[in-house]
Structure 1
């Protein structure tokens, strides 16, 4: 974004940050630099560019102009110094963790998190000698009690997948700074439109860009945002040497999605609030989890650290798993699918779908009961969403 249009407003940043018209053609949309190689002027030029992306491009696994625009836009939206773009959210998380952790280190991890993240901490990292303690990060004292001399990171999600439980970002960031640790938050459910963790003192923000950032269910990606020193370390370490680098065409789709992120998030939030209120007043619904409802135990925290309450709603039906299966199999408009953040309304059953390989006892301890239903409320007319819920709930005994 040129200096004369410099802005900190999120709507402007999501459309304009990092993007300038092509100096050759004047094209406004960022070109897809679908190339693996870049020609050098001479040997000296090639040596400089292979040494650092700061000197120019040499190979797309090390950097690419389309990726650079995406990274600049995400850094601007989060208020960070630098960002890195990956093939998926899990690739971003893996690159970060394998870059900052080593044998003998200890990680404190929220017990309610995305299933692949849980598997990474619970199964993969211990193979390399990393110790992990899962705690309810929404209770700050439990995080403090889990600290060890070899603790290196505190990793959490807010809102958490799939229960939309919140974590006090300022409190966790304070603990991390007091003990010289790195705080990392997965902010996928909120997007930078609803919360910006770096402003609360968190060190690194993670996004599965597949979700709200892409927004249309047609692309996958992951983002890390943090200080330049850390991002440069990761780029020179696991980013280029583990190879989870996003392709230019996928970066282009994410850039397209970002242009409408603010307006989409407003509709997601408005629809989700209407759906949550409807469900909370339905006789066949036992409990609704949505940060925007006063009944949510962390509603006040949500008001302090979020600009709005998101598009994710979780609920439990009276009748448990059997009622949930009947309900979801009766839906006609809402789509039964495991992802989230799409313009389409998606609904799924975490215990049997996304979190099936997490032990039942461990699932339930973190709030993922057999009867929990997770709903990603889309941007369709909310009357159609509610009408489908109404007819499906009518089939539940």
Structure 2
């Protein structure tokens, strides 16, 4: 079946009442058949029918065997990092979601876990990797600089050393990019973003094929309790049904806006892997079916006033997050990536004039006019 058909018809089917939408099971506990046997469902932290349905759906659209739904994207990331033991090390690209960096830079030391920041995984020499490296954690395209990593190349090199490869695929979704097919072991999502798609839930997903890893992660998630609620599971499943059609519009809008931004003097540089000027353009075309709907650019503060620009916007809300139907704008250095030390921000390129757009599905002519009006208003 095609992606959209799977997204609509995947997951569980209500065999009893034939409901078109799988029901919300709000019960915290389930009666057991007898003293000697445990039923399919016992306690909702361990398993819940509504959550199990969306977990199956998420795995279905990925073409994978297993899915785990968590209470947020960071709960998914935290769950994956629980696979690391004391003395082990993870390699992570230098610009990732600020919450991920906050976890790595603040909590790993207490747990005795090490990390190494990698500027460019495409050029990384795995032959010289430390023996205690047990995981590679990649965002591609990265957040917020939209750098593209060759998943297959990294996975092949890492696996020769017995290293687990994890890809945060939040910006792409399974509709545009399937890391497991490219060799990754685990793919994770902040399902708050495109999977939910309406900025009304917090959710995370961990998707994989390996049975042993799944059993470990399922046990850890049940033990720690970072599970997705039945209501949020229902909303997430509803969001996934329209993922493909929404992303088609997201991508179309983002491409036109990126081209607009590249052609004006209000921007110093535009970061979007759908532009031929982007250094990862060809690689993105090779491993994904689109460039996504997040655009970053350097604002020309010599000729334009950033405060006035933001204040004039009517359709782009000044807010963190991304992936909803509405368009958002933020400044990563003081918002999404504030957890990075100032020196590291500057070294990586997360400067004070770096702006990130999450392009929604409004009429693109209105979005471009909104940006254009704000740029004109803010000209010095």
Q: Same fold (TM over 0.5)?
A: yes
Matched, 1:77 2:61: yes
2:238 aligned to which of 242, 256, 278: 256
Q: State the distance in 1 between where 2:131 and 2:74 align.
A: 28
1:152 aligned to which of 123, 134, 137: 134
Aligned-residue CA RMSD (Å): 1.4
Q: State the distance in 2 between where 1:135 and 1:36 align.
A: 43
Q: CA 1:327–1:145 in structure 2 vs 1: closer, same or farther (change >3 Å)? A: farther
Q: Superposed, which structure 2 residues align to 1:247-286 within 5 Å?
A: 247-286=229-268
Q: State the distance in 1 between where 2:92 and 2:163 align.
A: 13
Aligned to 2:87: 104
Q: Please, which runs of 5 or more residues in structure 2 have no aligned partner?
A: none
TM-score under structure 2 length normalisation = 0.97
Offset, 1:322:
7.4
1:113 aligned to which of 96, 119, 143: 96
Offset, 1:356:
1.5
Offset, 1:329:
2.2
Q: Kindly indicate whether the alpha-carbon contact (under 8 Å) linking 2:99 and 2:339 is maintained by their aligned counterparts in 1.
A: no
Q: Kindly indicate whether the alpha-carbon contact (under 8 Å) linking 1:333 and 1:385 is maintained by their aligned counterparts in 2.
A: yes
Q: Please, which runs of 5 or more residues in structure 1 have no aligned partner?
A: 1-6, 50-55
Q: CA 1:143–1:43 in structure 2 vs 1: closer, same or farther (change >3 Å)? A: farther
1:240 aligned to which of 214, 219, 222: 222
Superposition misfits of 4+ residues, deviation over 2 angstroms: 138-146, 320-326, 364-367
Q: Superposed, which structure 2 residues align to 1:267-346 within 5 Å?
A: 267-319=249-301, 323-346=305-328
Offset, 1:146:
6.6
Q: State the distance in 2 between where 1:179 and 1:324 align.
A: 47
TM-score under structure 1 length normalisation = 0.93
Secondary structure at the counterpart of residue 231 of structure 1: helix
Q: Kindly indicate whether the alpha-carbon contact (under 8 Å) linking 1:110 and 1:135 is maintained by their aligned counterparts in 2.
A: yes
Aligned to 1:10: 3
Show CA shifts across 1:86-144 (max 9, x none): 0001001111211x1111101111111001101111110111100111112x3433363
Q: State the distance in 2 between where 1:363 and 1:352 align.
A: 10
Offset, 1:36:
0.6
Offset, 1:220:
0.8
Secondary structure at the counterpart of residue 36 of structure 2: helix
Aligned to 2:112: 129
Q: CA 1:18–1:105 in structure 2 vs 1: closer, same or farther (change >3 Å)? A: same
